[in-house]
């Protein structure tokens, strides 16, 4: 049997457009002489469709589309069998009223053959809001090439049943139990699994475990593309019945490739690709798709001469092309001379257009206006925030007029402790590096300027030379809020701050672990308080591309008005 893995990049909610995308994949699979085409979870909708699933008219729209797909398959790709992810209606008037289902489409019609059993409700997932859990595992028998194939079908989380591999289990049945009792020739997993640093390796281990358990190959197809904050990296694959990798699709790009089931398939080595390369490619995909799917053709960045805005500029150029990226330099009386020269040199290396706006006069105007109300000139934090808010207003005005997507340049460390200004440097339509700690920014920038980034620079048509440069990479971090100011005046060194933040954010505040590592209890409490007090800012931040296990996005649900800072003894 020849199975095509359709690693597709759908647009959420565009049922007609996504059906055309699937039918185009059918044509490619047919040309590759495939017998079966599998597409990702909810491939007709794009994942995650969220509250679009609550619109009954949108649900009804599926049925005529599926009927049209049957006719197109019959006419254009006869004898090809297609598996497509849909939202199946339940008519018993109970809530939730949908199943997350897989429909088999061929020239004779369509039918539901599998429903998802394990519904995730952790982190960014909220499937029990929309779907009801199935009570049995999907299985279908298909006659192909004079053989009757017994095929098990799981949907994404249904494969995540090994606590020792994934670290946790969803309460519910093990969907593979049923398949163990009734032998199958092949297991399919249709997924929409977002990118995180170690996710790909976990998927391979889970599929290998299932293959050995069921004594059959496992074909895993994953959605690709950026959808709001989530980045789906694709990286679909097949493992043989021994659990060895037999077939792969590329990361972070659409791909339609066919695997032929044979007893002597060649074992592939698992690529130990640089994690910085994977991260960079994921961020580029996230920016590219967010802009495209939101209707933006160009991006705007406030370029400061610092490492954060430099990294965002490089990602934007890789995603959209240098001709579609513009930058604005906005020096104040407190800006150092090297900030302007560093930013200008970076823009020249990237070949992006820049404008320079001196904000001295605007700052004086604000000071004068506020003096009337305050009875004195603004000082301290009020004055420091004014320059950020002036810059944010200018950037938004330019973005509005020239129809750019304004990219925010704040990192996760700053967002965590509130070292950012609402309606200032937090302005924008997308926070590109909002899930990268400052130390992660340093590491990624070091990689970009290393020989290891050569392949990625070629792939994204970036200049081969050093892009960021030592002047930016090695300077002491500063928001230049006042003459000679450094981040370390207000914050611990990032090498100290970030490990504490990682435990507080990603491990939900395991204070004993921090104390055992030797961190000062007073410092831990100080950072806890800053993290809590900044929650109202993060609630108003732009969407942030998620690359970690716990980002400040839809998966972070911490109340603003609360008291939860623990006493440290």
Are residues 262 and 293 part of one domain? no
- Is residue 314's pLDDT more than 80? yes
Boundary residue ending a domain (251, 271, 291)? 271
Name the nearest CA neighbour of 243 among 275, 225, 220: 220
For residue 269, is pLDDT > 80? Answer: no
Whether the per-residue pLDDT at 484 is higher than 80: the answer is no
Examine the fold and report which residue of 488, 507, 529 is the final residue of a domain before the chain moves on.
Answer: 488
Of 26, 156, 216, 252, catalytic: 156
Q: Which of 455, 457, 451, 450 is nearest to 473 (CA)?
A: 450
In a domain, 323, yes or no: yes
Coil, helix or strand at residue 96: coil
Regarding whether 226 and 351 lie in a shared domain, the answer is no
Q: Looking at the structure, do residues 363 and 227 belong to the same domain, yes or no?
A: no
The pLDDT of residue 436 = 98
Adjacent-strand bridge partners of 141: 150
DSSP letter string over 440-497? HHHHHHHHHTSGGGHHHHHHTT--SS-SS-HHHHTSPP---SSTT--GGGTS--HHHH
Catalytic residue, candidates 41, 88, 281, 414: 41
Q: How many CA atoms lie within 13 A of 355 on its CB side?
A: 13
What is the C-alpha to C-alpha distance for residues 312 and 306, in angstroms, rounded to an integer? 10
Domain boundary among 454, 471, 488: 488
Note the pLDDT tens digit of each residue in 417-437.
Answer: 999 999 999 999 999 999 999
Report the residue count for the chain.
569
Which of 26, 88, 116, 257 is an active site residue?
A: 116
Q: How many percent of the chain have pLDDT more than 90?
A: 86
Residue 277 pLDDT level (bands cut at 50, 70, 90): very high
In this structure, the answer to whether residues 210 and 163 fall within a common structural domain is: yes
Give burial (CB, 10 Å; 0-12/13-18/19+) of 396: middle
What's the CA gap between 427 and 242, in Å, rounded?
51
Give yes or no: residues 382 and 446 share one domain. Answer: yes
Q: Which long-range contacts (CB under 8 A, 24 or more apart) does 60-68 make?
A: 61/15, 62/15, 62/86, 62/87, 65/15, 65/16, 65/19, 66/103, 66/105, 66/110, 67/110, 68/19
Say if CB 339 and CB 480 are below 8 A apart. yes
How many domains would you assign to the chain? Answer: 2
Residue 563 located in a structural domain: no
Assess whether pLDDT exceeds 90 at residue 268: no
Per the CB < 8 A criterion, the answer to whether 53 and 87 are in contact is yes
- State the CATH number of the domain containing residue 188: 3.60.110.10
Burial of 379 (0-12, 13-18, 19+ CB in 10 A): exposed
* 69-89: pLDDT as tens digits: 999 999 999 999 999 999 999
Residue 212 lies in a domain: yes
Are residues 296 and 426 both part of a single domain?
yes
Taking residues 513-542, what's their average pLDDT? 94
| 546 occurs within a structural domain | no
* 138 in the same domain as 47: yes
Tell me: do 127 and 241 sit in the same domain: yes
320 and 443 in a single domain? The answer is: yes
Q: Do the beta carbons of residue 2 and residue 36 sit within 8 Å?
A: yes
pLDDT digits (tens, 9 = 90+) for 185-227: 999 999 999 999 889 999 999 999 999 999 999 999 999 999 9
pLDDT value, residue 118: 97
Model confidence band, residue 568 (pLDDT cutoffs 50, 70, 90): low
Do 346 and 480 belong to one domain? yes
Domain-located, residue 190 = yes
SS3 labels along 233-302: EECCEEECCCCCEEEECCECCCEEEEEECCCCCCCCCCCCCCHHHHHHHHHHHHHHHHHHHCCCCCEEEE
Q: In terms of C-beta density within 10 A (0-12 exposed, 13-18 middle, 19 or more buried), how is residue 457 classed?
A: middle
What confidence tier does 450 reach under pLDDT thresholds 50, 70, 90? very high
- How much of the chain, in percent, has pLDDT values that exceed 70? 97
Task: Tell me what the mean pLDDT of segment 139-160 comes to.
Answer: 94
Each residue of 337-385: pLDDT tens digit? 788 999 999 999 999 999 999 999 999 999 999 999 999 999 988 988 9
Residue found by looking up tokens 């009337």 in the block: 372
User: Which of 479, 489, 310 minimizes the C-alpha distance to 387?
Assistant: 479
* CATH code (residue 292): 3.40.50.620
Whether 161 is covered by a domain: the verdict is yes
Distance CA 309, CA 410 (A): 8
Q: Is there a cis peptide before residue 201, judged by omega within 30 degrees of 0? A: no
Tell me the pLDDT tens digit for each residue of 25-55: 999 999 999 999 999 999 999 999 999 999 9
Q: What is the mean pLDDT of the chain?
A: 94
110 and 213 in a single domain? The answer is yes
116 counts as catalytic: yes
Pure H helices in 351-379: 360-374
C-alpha to C-alpha distance for 59 and 75, rounded to whole angstroms: 26
Domain membership of residue 512 (yes or no) is: no
Q: Is residue 310 part of a domain?
A: yes
Check whether residue 260 and residue 308 sit in a common domain.
no
Expressed as residue numbers, the domain containing 69 is: 2-271
């Amino acid at each position: 049997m020849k199975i095509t893995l359709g690693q597709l990049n759908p647009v959420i909610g565009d049922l007609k457009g996504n059906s055309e995308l699937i039918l185009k994949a059918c044509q490619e699979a047919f040309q590759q002489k495939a017998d079966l085409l599998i597409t990702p979870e909810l491939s007709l909708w794009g994942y995650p469709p969220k509250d679009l699933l609550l619109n009954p008219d949108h649900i009804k729209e599926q049925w005529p589309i599926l009927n049209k797909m049957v006719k197109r398959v019959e006419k254009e790709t006869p004898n090809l069998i297609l598996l497509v992810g849909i939202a199946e209606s339940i008519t018993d008037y109970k809530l939730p009223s949908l199943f997350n289902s897989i429909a088999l489409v061929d020239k004779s019609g369509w039918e539901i053959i599998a429903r998802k059993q394990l519904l995730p409700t952790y982190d960014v997932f909220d499937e029990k809001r929309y779907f009801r859990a199935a009570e049995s595992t999907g299985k279908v028998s298909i006659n192909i090439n004079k053989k009757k194939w017994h095929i098990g079908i799981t949907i994404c989380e249904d494969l995540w049943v090994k606590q020792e591999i994934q670290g946790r289990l969803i309460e519910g049945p093990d969907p593979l139990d049923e398949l163990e009792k009734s032998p199958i020739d092949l297991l399919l997993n249709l997924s929409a699994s977002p990118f995180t640093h170690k996710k790909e390796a976990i998927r391979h281990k889970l599929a290998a475990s299932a293959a050995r358990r069921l004594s059959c190959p496992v074909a895993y197809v994953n959605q690709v593309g950026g959808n709001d904050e989530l980045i789906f990296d694709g990286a679909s694959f097949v493992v043989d019945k021994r659990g060895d990798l037999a077939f792969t699709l590329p990361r972070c790009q659409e791909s339609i490739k066919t695997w032929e089931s044979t007893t002597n398939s060649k074992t592939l080595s698992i690529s130990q690709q640089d994690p910085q390369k994977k991260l960079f490619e994921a961020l580029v995909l996230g920016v590219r798709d967010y802009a495209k799917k939101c209707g933006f053709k160009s991006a705007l960045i406030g370029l400061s001469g610092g490492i954060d805005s430099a990294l965002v500029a490089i990602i934007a150029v890789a995603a959209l092309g240098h001709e579609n990226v513009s930058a604005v330099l906005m020096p104040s009386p407190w800006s150092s001379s090297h900030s302007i020269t560093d930013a200008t040199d970076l823009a020249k290396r990237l070949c992006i257009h820049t404008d320079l706006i001196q904000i001295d006069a605007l700052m004086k105007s604000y000071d004068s206006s506020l003096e009337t109300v305050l009875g004195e000139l603004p000082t301290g934090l009020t004055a420091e925030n004014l320059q950020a808010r002036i810059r944010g207003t200018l950037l938004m005005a330019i973005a509005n007029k020239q129809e750019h997507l304004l990219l925010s340049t704040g990192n996760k460390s700053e967002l965590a402790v509130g070292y950012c200004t609402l309606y200032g440097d937090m302005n924008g339509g997308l926070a590109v590096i909002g899930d990268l700690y400052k130390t992660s920014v340093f590491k990624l920038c070091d990689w970009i300027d290393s020989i290891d980034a050569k392949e990625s620079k070629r792939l994204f048509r970036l200049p081969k030379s050093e892009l960021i440069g030592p002047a930016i990479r090695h300077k002491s971090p500063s928001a230049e809020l006042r003459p000679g100011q450094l981040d370390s005046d207000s914050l611990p060194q990032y090498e100290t701050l970030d490990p504490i933040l990682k435990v507080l954010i990603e491990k939900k505040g395991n204070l004993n672990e921090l104390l055992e590592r030797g961190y000062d209890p007073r410092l831990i409490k100080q950072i806890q308080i800053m993290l809590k007090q900044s929650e109202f800012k993060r609630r108003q931040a732009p969407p942030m591309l998620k690359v970690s296990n716990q980002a400040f996005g839809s998966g972070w649900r911490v109340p603003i008005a609360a008291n939860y800072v623990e006493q440290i003894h």
